[in-house]
């Protein structure tokens, strides 16, 4: 990377972060929360980019890491009095790391589609356990708990408002991004990318490919768990729906939409997907009301599921923009 | 106890044969065109719904079975031509993504069109016969026989018909098949349509045993994936054996735990398979 490149990158980075820091001042309450959600899903998507984009292993099991982070945080917040933020992080990351180690041990023996299916099945195992173990996990209803305060014992204690929580999530995301960027640029990250390009050759050079894969899955799972903890704090509940494999599928969609192997791409993808979903879910009722004013009755239009156009957009991106939005934009800019 | 085990054996085989019907479509599609069809469960679900509608309109279950198979097979061909053909020659992972999008669309369409309330299909054969201490419905045996018959017909089709020969040739070597004058694009479309039709048929057959709703495909696509991996990807006989094996395991497990937890047994079978023989339990070890 040339010096000019570096300068452009850091300038861009600072501008984006600065914009995100001031963004909530221009937004009403609902959109502040919405932006926080985008950042959390973006963190989850970014964590899976380590596997999808850099190591070339498509994980369909990130809901397990995310969900276990959530339930780990729930355990901490329900047992400690007063609920401790840092304990929530500790338990959540511990749970996610344990699950990630377990999944990684088995799934990294397999490649390509087999890896994808195995991670999917593993996440379903945790889903079934959480769903049926009602005494501990609350089963279908999940768990409700109160939000901890942002506190350092003995120093200060500050209850979270929508605004401070947003900044807190933004800070966690920014630090995570910098850490993951550093990791992907490190020799370790280079080995991951060489496994993506040519696994046999990487092995021949002498790298213990299996061990690298296990570490990659664990690293990815740890950051997914971090996203889970943040989500639990934001929404004050943990539910089995978030362990279901459809969540993993959405995470893969974010990655593909935004562009894999870029770290930022998945965040862009998550933002695009969630904004499109929000927009489309308002579009159809609006169209129906406009049609009704014109005297045209279109039964069912107001309830038209917004996931249908979203699914079609996704398919079109898979077929025509395999590089994702970011890759597409980059190529378009370089034209 | 022995009686319970015998009853569960029969249950396991009945469910296993339906599962085999779903999974053989999936494994056929994978083995021949390297497509991992995530939307397979949705084709199963749509088949059941088309069955519900036809049954309500005509009153004939058998007509409903045929109509559902044909309609969903046509839908499958359309899905293949529009979303999967452009991905030909790319990494199979792309097909997972595209079919995941398809399943999102189909599932939400079903939810919108038919609503969240489960529909019921009336079974065509209502009689029961005494089996130990309970009355066992004849219909369950009818499903088992029909599934076996459809799978048998598929096997005969692959073995003896012109298209069957073409399909097997395409599996072995797509480029060479093309060079020999086999219309490969048409063969691939037909294979996808057959797989979709089989999923639809099993949806209609299984409909009377459970309610028909928009999310019923999710469970099945997962189970079918487990079966296909345990049986060896693209291996028809292996998938059938694995389907019956896994269903038996789940049936026995549900003697002790709830059916929701019994699914874990099939997950464990999958993990053990991957640990011991990653290429599938029912295929010879590759050299």
Per-position DSSP letters for A162-180, written without gaps between them? HHHHHHHHHHHHHHHHHHH
At B73 the pLDDT is: 92
**Residue among B267, B204, B281 nearest B235 (CA):** B281
At A1 the pLDDT is: 55
| Interface with B, mutate which of A57, A124, A197, A306 (most B CBs under 10 A) | A124
Asked if A106 has any chain B CB less than 8 Å from its own CB, the reply is yes
From the list B101, B108, B229, the residue facing A117 with the nearest CB is: B229
Distance CA A267, CA A152 (A): 30
User: Are B97 and A318 within 8 A, CB to CB?
Assistant: yes
Grouping H, G, I as helix, E, B as strand and the rest as coil, residue A244 is coil
Instruction: Determine the distance in angstroms separating the CA of A12 from the nearest CA of chain B, rounded to an integer.
Output: 31
Q: Do A30 and A164 contact (CB within 8 A), yes or no?
A: no
**This prediction's pTM:** 0.84
Instruction: Determine the distance in angstroms separating the CA of A302 from the nearest CA of chain B, rounded to an integer.
Output: 10
| Pairing state between β A143-144 and A237-238 | antiparallel
List, in order of start, the domains of chain B with CATH numbers: 2-276 (1.10.3470)
Distance CA A335, CA B154 (A): 52
**Residue among A195, A259, A60 nearest B97 (CA):** A60
**Residue among B208, B199, B239 nearest B106 (CA):** B199
At A335 the pLDDT is: 58
Instruction: Determine the distance in angstroms separating the CA of B259 from the nearest CA of chain A, rounded to an integer.
Output: 10
At A26 the pLDDT is: 82
Vertex B108 angle, CA A267 and B30, to 5°: 80
User: Are B271 and A114 within 8 A, CB to CB?
Assistant: no
At A333 the pLDDT is: 66
Distance CA B28, CA B36 (A): 10
User: Are B87 and A318 within 8 A, CB to CB?
Assistant: yes
DSSP A23: G
**Residue A255 CA, distance from chain mean position:** 9
| Interface with A, mutate which of B41, B90, B93 (most A CBs under 10 A) | B93
Instruction: Determine the distance in angstroms separating the CA of B177 from the nearest CA of chain A, rounded to an integer.
Output: 25
Q: Do B24 and B151 contact (CB within 8 A), yes or no?
A: yes
**Residue A122 CA, distance from chain mean position:** 18
Structure tokens at A250: 């959405």
At B2 the pLDDT is: 77
Residue ranges for chain A with pLDDT beneath 70: 1-2, 154, 333-335
For residue B102, the chain A residues in CB contact (below 8 A) are 311, 315
User: Are A121 and B36 within 8 A, CB to CB?
Assistant: no
List the single residue in A with minimal CA-CA distance to B110: A305
Give this complex's ipTM. 0.82
Q: Do B16 and B246 contact (CB within 8 A), yes or no?
A: yes
The answer for B 45-104 residues in CB contact with A (under 8 A) is 83, 86-87, 90-94, 96-98, 100-102, 104
Instruction: Determine the distance in angstroms separating the CA of A125 from the nearest CA of chain B, rounded to an integer.
Output: 6
User: Are A106 and B94 within 8 A, CB to CB?
Assistant: no
pLDDT, tens digit (0-9, with 9 covering 90-100), for A211-268? 888 999 999 999 999 999 999 888 888 888 888 888 888 888 888 888 887 888 888 8
Question: Maximum Cα–Cα distance for chain B, whole Å?
Answer: 62
| Pairing state between β A150-152 and A156-158 | antiparallel
**Tens-digit pLDDT string for chain B (287 aa):** 777 788 888 888 888 888 888 888 888 888 777 788 888 889 999 998 998 888 888 878 888 888 899 999 999 999 998 888 888 777 777 888 888 889 889 888 888 888 777 777 777 777 777 777 777 778 888 888 888 898 888 888 888 888 888 888 887 788 888 888 888 888 888 888 998 998 899 888 888 887 788 888 887 888 888 888 888 776 788 888 888 888 888 888 888 877 777 778 888 888 888 777 767 776 654 43
Structure tokens at A315: 């398919």
Distance CA A34, CA A62 (A): 22
**Residue among B273, B253, B275 nearest B262 (CA):** B253
Q: For tokens 């001042």, name the residue.
A: A25
């Amino acid at each position: 990377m040339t010096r000019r490149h570096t300068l452009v990158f850091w300038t861009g980075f600072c501008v984006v972060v600065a914009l995100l820091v001031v963004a909530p001042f221009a937004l009403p309450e609902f959109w502040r929360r919405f932006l926080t959600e985008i950042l959390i899903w973006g963190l989850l998507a970014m964590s899976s980019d380590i596997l999808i984009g850099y190591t070339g292993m498509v994980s369909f099991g990130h809901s397990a890491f995310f969900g276990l982070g959530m339930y780990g945080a729930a355990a901490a917040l329900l047992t400690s009095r007063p609920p401790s933020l840092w304990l929530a992080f500790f338990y959540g990351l511990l749970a996610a790391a344990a699950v990630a180690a377990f999944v990684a041990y088995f799934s990294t023996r397999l490649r390509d589609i087999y890896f994808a299916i195995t991670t999917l099945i593993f996440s379903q195992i945790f889903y079934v356990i959480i769903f049926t173990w009602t005494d501990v996990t609350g089963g279908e209803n999940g768990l409700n708990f109160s939000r901890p305060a942002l506190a350092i014992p003995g120093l200060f204690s500050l209850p979270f408002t929508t605004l401070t929580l947003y900044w807190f999530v933004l800070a966690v995301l920014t630090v995570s991004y910098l850490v993951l960027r550093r990791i992907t640029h490190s020799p370790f990250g280079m080995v991951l990318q060489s496994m993506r390009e040519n696994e046999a050759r990487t092995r021949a050079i002498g790298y213990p490919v299996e061990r690298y894969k296990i570490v990659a899955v664990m690293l990815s799972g740890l950051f997914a768990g971090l996203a889970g903890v943040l989500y639990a704090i934001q929404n004050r509940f943990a539910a089995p729906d978030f362990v279901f494999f459809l969540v993993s599928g959405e995470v893969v969609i974010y990655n593909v939409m935004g562009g894999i192997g870029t770290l930022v791409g998945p965040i862009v993808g998550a933002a695009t997907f969630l904004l499109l979903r929000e927009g489309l879910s308002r579009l159809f009722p609006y169209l129906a009301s406009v049609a009704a004013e014109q005297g045209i009755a279109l039964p069912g239009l107001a309830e038209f599921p917004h996931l249908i156009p979203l699914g079609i957009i996704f398919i079109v991106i898979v077929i025509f923009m395999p590089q994702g939005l970011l890759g597409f934009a980059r190529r378009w800019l370089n034209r | 106890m022995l009686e319970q085990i015998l009853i569960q054996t029969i249950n396991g085989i009945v469910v296993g044969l339906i599962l085999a019907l779903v999974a053989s479509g999936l494994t056929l599609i994978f083995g021949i065109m390297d497509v991992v069809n995530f939307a397979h469960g949705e084709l199963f679900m749509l088949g059941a719904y088309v069955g519900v509608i036809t049954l309500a309109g005509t009153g004939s279950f058998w007509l409903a079975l045929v109509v559902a198979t044909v309609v969903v097979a046509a839908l499958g061909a359309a899905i293949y031509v529009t979303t999967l053909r452009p991905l030909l020659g790319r990494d199979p992972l792309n097909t997972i993504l595209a079919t995941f999008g398809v399943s999102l669309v189909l599932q939400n369409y079903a939810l919108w069109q038919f609503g969240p309330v489960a529909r019921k299909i009336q079974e065509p054969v209502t009689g029961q016969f005494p089996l130990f201490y309970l009355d066992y419905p004849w219909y369950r045996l009818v499903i088992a026989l029909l599934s076996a018959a459809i799978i048998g017909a598929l096997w005969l089709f692959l073995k003896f018909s012109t298209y069957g020969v073409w399909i097997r040739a395409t599996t072995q070597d797509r480029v060479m098949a093309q060079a020999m004058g086999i219309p490969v694009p048409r063969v691939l479309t037909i294979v996808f349509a057959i797989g979709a039709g089989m999923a639809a048929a099993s949806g209609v057959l299984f409909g009377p045993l459970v309610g028909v709703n928009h999310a019923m495909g999710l469970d099945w696509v997962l189970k079918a994936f487990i079966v296909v991996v345990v049986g060896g990807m693209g291996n028809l006989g292996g998938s059938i054996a694995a389907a019956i094996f896994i269903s038996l395991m789940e049936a026995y497990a549900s003697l002790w735990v709830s059916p929701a937890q019994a699914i874990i047994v099939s997950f464990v079978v999958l993990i053990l398979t991957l640990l011991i023989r990653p290429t599938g339990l029912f295929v010879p070890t590759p050299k």
